Amino acid sequence: MQSIVHVCLAGLSSGMFIWLVASGLTLIFGVLGVLNFAHGSFYMLGAYFSYTVLRHLFPNFWLGLLLGPLCVCAVGFVVERFFLRYVYRLALPYQLLLTFAFVLIFDNLVKIVWGAGSLTPPDIGFLAGSVPILGRKFPVYNLFIIGVGPLVAVALWLALERTWAGRIVRAASSDREMASAIGVRVPALYTGVFVFGIWLGALGGGLAVPYVGLLTPGMGETIIIEAFIVAVIGGLGSLKGAFLAALVLGVLSSFGTRYFPAFDMFLTFILMAAVLLVRPQGLFGDAR
């Protein structure tokens, strides 16, 4: 019982990282119709930027979390404004490969700047340490992550449903032409949504900094695959689906690592295949 609860909690916290990356991925896909292969790389950049702020500029966790992702947003702006914008009308392979080119570029740049090895996480103050749950210690920071994920989900939901900007975003995602006909400046909106989506991923990266062994140049590649799987299971473009799928995936692979270490990733794929057999469009995707 005790160990099951702990495995669940560990799964939930790793699921939240996947959720943060998948949320940005899903939002961008929903509005721009582009699958951003580089999203994992932005997550990685978020981590490295936050790390640098934390280590070399201001030794404060919250400042790192604020400034790191903001720097990544600037990178995201350049990518959208000067590259991605020109391929919206092209066939899928070109869009996907453009973002893939950025995966290659960013991953390699990170290797050049920060080195190929993994970095040691800096001190994060009061969030360090652990608390006893059912008689066994559980890291405070993981509890913090489990709190942040739903917070972001609720904030996103409120922003999309209750604000003027959110309504415009939803309108644009269901009908691009109509949105432009009622006077929405679609190009600016796209840039905004892309940069915001990047911020979500980079925030996930910033939050990953305190984890030991997570900060490597390959961290983006691992999570982008998981985020893809989550997006497929949840139904492409559905934030609700992405959230649920991320939790399920996190917990499932946590159980996998604990009880079937040789096949942890395999379970995930079984889940995906099963969902797709029953519902090819994913849990909350539109039937196409």
Contacting residues toward another protein, per CB under 8 A: 29, 35, 83, 86-87, 90-94, 96-98, 100-105, 107-109, 111-112, 221, 225, 228-229, 231-232, 236, 262-266, 268-269, 272-273, 276-277, 280
User: Is the CB of 108 or the CB of 163 nearer to another protein?
Assistant: 108
In the complex with another protein, which residue's Cβ is closer, 81 or 111? 111
| Residue closer to another protein, measured from CB, 23 or 268 | 268
DSSP codes joined into one string, 93-162? HHHHHHHHHHHHHHHHHHHHHH-SSPPPP---GGG-SEEEETTEEEEHHHHHHHHHHHHHHHHHHHHHHH
Q: Count CA atoms within 13 Å of residue 34 on its CB side.
A: 28
* Closest distance of CB 191 from another protein, Å: 18
Q: How far is the CB of 196 from another protein (least distance, A)?
A: 20
> Which residues touch 151 (CB under 8 Å, ≥6 apart)?
none
Q: Between 171 and 225, name the residue whose CB sits nearer to another protein.
A: 225
For the bound state, the minimum distance from the C-beta of residue 72 to another protein, rounded and expressed in Å, comes to 18
- Rounded to a whole number of angstroms, the minimum distance from the CB of residue 6 to another protein is 23
Q: How many other CB atoms are there within 10 angstroms of residue 190's CB atom?
A: 22
Question: Measured from the CB of residue 197, what is the shortest distance to another protein in angstroms?
Answer: 16
Q: Which is nearer to another protein, 106 or 211 (CB)?
A: 106
